[in-house]
Amino acid sequence: MKFIKIVVFFLLFISCENKEQYLVRSFKSNNGWGYTIAINDKIVIRQTVIPTVSKQMSFKSEADAMKVGNLVRDRIKQNLSPTIAKKDLILLKIAL
């Protein structure tokens, strides 16, 4: 009986687990780098420019695009606003 309770608990735990898959990918643009975020293979964000910067600038490196993309993904996963502020760019040391 104890074994059955453990199995039932385990099955309930797994069924309640969030099964959404989030994927951040970088891509080369005409002027630098950008990123996409896909949820369950559906692209929900395609960012070609650095957010919050007044002029339309692409990321200078793939690493910078991925840093911001990963931050946005993490915020989405936590049901937070994915908005990027200037302070986020400074903390991530994004080249402007």
- Return the DSSP state at 92: T
Helical H runs in the chain?
2-16, 62-77, 86-91
Q: In 10 A of CB 71, how many CB atoms?
A: 17
Percent of the chain predicted with pLDDT > 70: 81
- Residue tagged 């309640």 (tokens): 16
In the three-class reduction of DSSP (H, G, I as helix; E, B as strand; rest coil), residue 59 is classed as strand
User: Using CA atoms, how far apart are residues 49 and 40, in angstroms rounded to an integer?
Assistant: 24
Q: What is the pTM of this model?
A: 0.80
Predicted confidence (pLDDT) per residue in 53-92, tens digit: 989 999 999 999 999 999 999 999 999 999 999 999 999 9
